[in-house]
């Protein structure tokens, strides 16, 4: 990902990610490392400005593009690793959770923090967390909007490994891909999709309902007010 300053996910960036995933699949890619050009941020999650006073059709397109990108990422036939050498809140955490393996560096915060922002992580975000860390830990983390530090993320199983820095993180991600290289492709892909199918189907069969929930939620005046205040707090911080 290379969308400075924080790889926030707007419609255009989501489309780029989706196109890249389609291209990798068409080219029979043998593995992907999802990484960031930023030295300190993996992805800041969804671009909050896409949800602030949006036009209805733009908001719908944004959400459908996110759904398209995630459906592709979660179901790739090739192995995927997230090299998390920077913070990964909310949608950034979703990207990492959607890969098959996660390597993180020290001093990083990762989690589905939506509750803390007064919004709600959609069901499929929640499913991804549950699938990785289990029901009890996911429920606790999501209710609190907890951001895990590196040590906590390792302890709870949100990530698989800690590496010292970006170079080591990429090297460990490559080692994971190498460990998968000799597995028969069809068997590997079939098992992966078997595990992920119910989560994928839940969104695929309820896409329109999911979009409606998103739209109805973000268009509420009190949610808009919360987003406005959060955007102000973010820009005051950097100002």
Ligand X SMILES: CC/C=C\C/C=C\C/C=C\C/C=C/C(=O)SCCNC(=O)CCNC(=O)[C@H](O)C(C)(C)COP(=O)(O)OP(=O)(O)OC[C@H]1O[C@@H](n2cnc3c(N)ncnc32)[C@H](O)[C@@H]1OP(=O)(O)O
| Contact positions vs ligand X (CB under 6 A) | 5-6, 8, 40-41, 44-49, 87, 89-91, 113-114, 117, 119-122, 213-214, 217-218, 234-235, 237-238
Angstrom distance (rounded) from CA 98 to CA 76: 10
Catalytic residue among 86, 113, 117, 203: 113
Write down the least CB distance from residue 5 to ligand X, Å. 5
Q: Which phi and psi (to 5°) does residue 164 adopt?
A: -65, -40
Write down the least CB distance from residue 14 to ligand X, Å. 11
Write down the least CB distance from residue 172 to ligand X, Å. 23
CB closer to ligand X out of 14 and 177: 14
Question: Catalytic annotation on 114?
Answer: yes
CB atoms within 10 A of CB 230: 17
Catalytic residue among 114, 117, 145, 158: 114
Per-residue tokens: 229: 């205040």
Angstrom distance (rounded) from CA 109 to CA 164: 15
CB closer to ligand X out of 176 and 211: 211
| Residue of closest CB approach to ligand X | 45
CB closer to ligand X out of 113 and 150: 113
Question: Catalytic annotation on 113?
Answer: yes
Catalytic residue among 17, 34, 46, 142: 46
Of 58, 223, 84, 72, the C-alpha closest to 153 is: 84
- Side-chain half-sphere of 132: how many Cα atoms within 13 Å? 27
Write down the least CB distance from residue 91 to ligand X, Å. 3
Per-residue tokens: 98: 């959607």
CB closer to ligand X out of 46 and 97: 46
Complete DSSP assignment for 109-130: EEE--GGGGT----HHHHHHHH
Question: Catalytic annotation on 46?
Answer: yes
Determine contact, residues 90/113, Cβ cutoff 8 Å: yes
Catalytic residue among 31, 91, 92, 145: 91
**In the chain, what is the straight-line distance between the N-terminal and C-terminal CA atoms, in Å?**
25
Question: Catalytic annotation on 206?
Answer: no
Write down the least CB distance from residue 22 to ligand X, Å. 23
From edge to edge, which strands make up the β-sheet containing 109-111? 88-89, 109-111, 148-149
How many residues make up the chain in this entry? 239
CB closer to ligand X out of 24 and 96: 96
Catalytic positions are 46, 91, 113-114
């Amino acid at each position: 990902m290379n969308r400075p300053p924080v790889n926030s996910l707007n419609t255009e960036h989501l489309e780029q990610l989706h196109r890249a995933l389609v291209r990798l699949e068409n080219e029979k890619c043998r593995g992907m490392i999802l990484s960031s050009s930023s030295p300190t941020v993996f992805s800041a999650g969804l671009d909050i400005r896409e949800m602030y006073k949006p036009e209805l059709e733009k908001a719908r397109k944004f959400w459908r593009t996110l759904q398209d990108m995630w459906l592709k990422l979660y179901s790739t036939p090739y192995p995927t690793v997230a090299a998390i050498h920077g913070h990964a809140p909310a949608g950034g955490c979703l990207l990492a959770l959607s890969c098959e393996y996660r390597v993180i560096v020290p001093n990083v915060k990762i989690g589905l923090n939506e509750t803390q922002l007064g919004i709600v992580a959609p069901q499929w975000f929640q499913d991804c967390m549950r699938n990785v860390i289990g029901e009890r830990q996911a429920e606790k983390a999501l209710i609190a909007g907890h951001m895990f530090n590196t040590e906590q993320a390792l302890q709870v199983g949100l990530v698989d490994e800690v590496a010292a820095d970006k170079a080591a993180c990429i090297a460990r991600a490559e080692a994971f891909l190498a460990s998968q290289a000799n597995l028969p492709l069809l068997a590997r892909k079939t098992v992966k999709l078997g595990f992920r199918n119910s989560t994928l189907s839940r969104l695929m069969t309820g896409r329109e309902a999911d979009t409606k929930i998103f739209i109805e939620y973000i268009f509420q005046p009190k949610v808009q007010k919360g987003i406005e205040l959060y955007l102000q707090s973010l820009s005051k911080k950097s100002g």
